[in-house]
Amino acid sequence: MKTENTVIDATESTFRNGVDATALLETIAYLGENADKAQFKFRARNRWIDGSQNEATIDTFHALGEEQSHDRAHLVRADQPALILGKDEAPNPVENLLAALSSCIATTTVYHAAASGETIEEFTSELEGAIDVQGFMGIDPDVREGFNEITVKVKARSTANEQRLRELISKSPVLDVLRHGTKVNIEIESKS
Amino acid sequence: MKTENTVIDATESTFRNGVDATALLETIAYLGENADKAQFKFRARNRWIDGSQNEATIDTFHALGEEQSHDRAHLVRADQPALILGKDEAPNPVENLLAALSSCIATTTVYHAAASGETIEEFTSELEGAIDVQGFMGIDPDVREGFNEITVKVKARSTANEQRLRELISKSPVLDVLRHGTKVNIEIESKS
C-alpha cells in the first residue's frame, strides 16, 4: 500500500510470500500515525437478472482518505444449482460467502506472515457450512436462516507453527464478521 | 428443487420472477414433512497462489440427504488492488463478502416473492461496508478486524410494499450470518 508520505524504491523492497513486505511495514507505520486515513470503505452493487441469477459489480472503494478505483470493474455472478431451481452458472450466495471466508483467511495469513518475517510455502483450505433450510424456507420459525456452523480445515507448509498460524488467521476481517456479526442497515426504496 | 417424491410436469409449473413457483412450494411442503432432508451442507476449497492472489473452487454440496455436484466446478478468484499491494485481477475478500450479501438478499427476496405470489420487476442494491484497517493491521487492539457496519440500499419495483420487502429480505441466510454471527471452527495441519 503506497501512501502519500512514502516513496517505495522497488529495488530496495523486500518481497516475502509474494507481498512487498517493505511497503506493508511502511503502510502499517504510516496508518499508526494517521488514524484518519485508516477508515476504509468497500462496496458492491447488485443487479437482479432473473430467477436465481444476479450479478454484483465492484469498482470503487475509499482508502487512505480518498476515493479509489479498481483497474477495472470486477463482476461476481450468483446462481443456484438445478436442485435449488437455478441454472447452475455460478456459485450460490452462501457458497460465495464461504469463498470470501476462504480467501480472507489465506490473504490475512500471507500478509501478516510477510510483515512478521514468516515464510508461507503452501496454504490451502477446505470449508463446509451446515445449514438447515427449514429456516430459510420459513418452515420452522425456531430454525435460523444462515449457517449453524462452519468448519475450516487449513493445510499449510510454512515457517509458522500451528499456534502461530492460528494467530495469523485470527486477524481475518471476514472471519471476525462471521464469528461476531456486524450491524447491517437496510434501506428500501420501493416502487410499484 | 426436485425431490424424490415429487415429479414436476413443466407444462403445469407456474413460473414467477423466473422461479418455478410450483416446484418451490412442493419442495417447501416436502421438507416440512422430511426435516432430515433439510440438512444441507455447502463447501468451498481454496488454494493460495501467490501474494494477494488465491482461488476458491466450489463443486460439491449435500442436499436432500444426498451428495450433489454442480454441473461444473465454479471458481472464485480473490486479489487486492495495487494500493493494498495486489495485482487487482479480482475483488478482495471483503468485497466478495459484500457481493455474497448482495446476491443473497436478491435471491431470497425473489424466491420468497415467488412462493407468496408477489411479482418482482426490478431489484438492485448498493452496499457499503466501513472498516477501520487499524484493526486488521494490528495497530490498535481495541479496533475490530472486520466491518463496523454495512449499509444496504435496495431499490425494487414490485407488487410488494416496503414493509413486505423488508420481511422477504430478512429471510436471507447470508444476512442472518452477518448480523448474528455463527460458530467457525478452525482446524490446522501445519508442516515445515
- The domains located in chain B, with CATH, are 1-37+92-180 (3.30.300.20), 40-90 (no CATH)
Contact B184/A175, CB-based, under 8 Å? yes
B145/chain A closest Cα distance in angstroms: 5
For residue B99, give the C-alpha cell: 457481493
For residue A144, give the C-alpha cell: 435460523
As a whole number, mean pLDDT of residues A153-179 equals 98
Q: How confident is the model at residue A80 (pLDDT cuts 50, 70, 90)?
A: very high
Longest dimension (CA), chain A: 62
* Closest CA in chain B for residue A69: B81
Q: Which residues of B touch A4 (CB under 8 A)?
A: none
A16 in B contact zone (CB under 8 Å): no
A101 in B contact zone (CB under 8 Å): yes
ipTM: 0.95
Q: DSSP string of A56-80?
A: EEEEEEEETTEEEEEEEEEEEEE--
Per-residue pLDDT, A13: 80
- Which residue would you say has higher pLDDT here, B173 or B9? B173
Range of weakest confidence among A7-11, A136-140, B138-142, B161-165 = A7-11
- What are the C-alpha distances in Å from B5 to residues A79, A135, B1, B27, B53? 25, 21, 11, 10, 44
Q: Which residues of B touch A124 (CB under 8 A)?
A: 45-48
Contact B28/A145, CB-based, under 8 Å? no
Per-residue pLDDT, B11: 53
As a whole number, mean pLDDT of residues B114-131 equals 97
Based on DSSP, count helices (H) and strands (E) in chain A, helices before strands: 5, 8
Contact B129/A70, CB-based, under 8 Å? no
Distance CA A29, CA A133 (A): 46
Q: How confident is the model at residue A11 (pLDDT cuts 50, 70, 90)?
A: low
Q: What pLDDT, in 10s, does the model give residues A86-144?
A: 999 999 999 999 999 999 999 999 999 999 999 999 999 999 999 999 999 999 999 99
Distance CA A188, CA B109 (A): 12
A26/chain B closest Cα distance in angstroms: 12
Q: DSSP string of A89-103?
A: SS--HHHHHHHHHHH
Cβ atoms A37, A31 nearer than 8 A:
yes
